[in-house]
Amino acid sequence: LSARWQQTTRLAWTASLGRYFRIPTFSEMFGTQGLVIGNEDLNPEQGLNTEINVQWAATKVLNVSATLFHSGRDDTIVTVFDARGIGRNANTGSATIQGLEFETSWSPTSAMKLKTNLTVQDTNNQSNIIAFSGKQLPNQSALSAYVRGEYQAQRYLTLWSELNLAQERFYDLGNFLPAEDATVINVGTQWQRNQWSADFTVSNITDQTIEDFNGFPRPGRSFSLGFSYQL
């Protein structure tokens, strides 16, 4: 259920209310790459989502959006790690997730684009187990940010750079195993002409050590080159 109010030609408000339902993924039920133990007895997540959004076209080249969100969930699925670094998927029971998302889109010229996203959220585990109640849900960042800039250097060639930031997250339900803050910078180029396209990407150019799973770091700096043809 959603309602929209176009207050002015540049300012619009939207409010929405919806049921939430998510079945467990294959990897959550049966494990993945030997890093996490699956759980075939997982129940689907379900709950209620509410949002209030405001969109403002500040100028012809700048758009700003802010969203206040709240989600109440039952049978929340999380990945938790024990002291040995072994992960497993489990239903934690009830939880609430609420926060603010702020987005901007700026195009100062036809060749330049800049997009930003900042999300601040509070995840509250409402488990019946006292040791976990009121704690932050595992692998959910309290602060995350995304910035991407694009420049069309030539008619068929685009240069881009992006930054991903994640702070204040934990590996476990009791919040005893904090994850290190992560800042990843990627750069790349894209060439596209007719049905052909080519992409070259340098990921994690600062070669930062990042662990999505406790004790299992992702690759550092990496390079990728891809070609595609659209039929």
DSSP-assigned letter for residue 13: E
Give me the pLDDT at residue 77, please: 87
Output the six-digit token pair for 155: 């008619």
Per-residue pLDDT of the chain (231 residues; tens, 9 = 90+): 999 999 999 999 999 999 999 999 898 898 766 677 888 999 999 999 999 999 999 999 999 999 999 999 998 888 877 767 678 888 888 999 999 999 999 999 999 999 999 999 999 998 888 888 899 998 899 999 999 999 999 889 999 999 999 999 998 888 888 988 999 999 999 999 999 999 999 999 999 888 876 667 778 899 999 999 998
Give me the pLDDT at residue 219, please: 81
Give me the pLDDT at residue 106, please: 97
In this structure, which amino acid lies at residue 89? Answer: N
Give me the pLDDT at residue 83, please: 67
Give me the pLDDT at residue 38, please: 85
pTM: 0.83
d(CA 39, CA 62): 46
3-state helix, strand, coil in the chain (%, to 5): 0, 60, 35
Give me the pLDDT at residue 205, please: 95
Write phi, then psi, for 76 (nearest 5 degrees).
Answer: -60, 130
Radius of gyration from C-alpha coordinates of the chain: 21
Give me the pLDDT at residue 204, please: 94
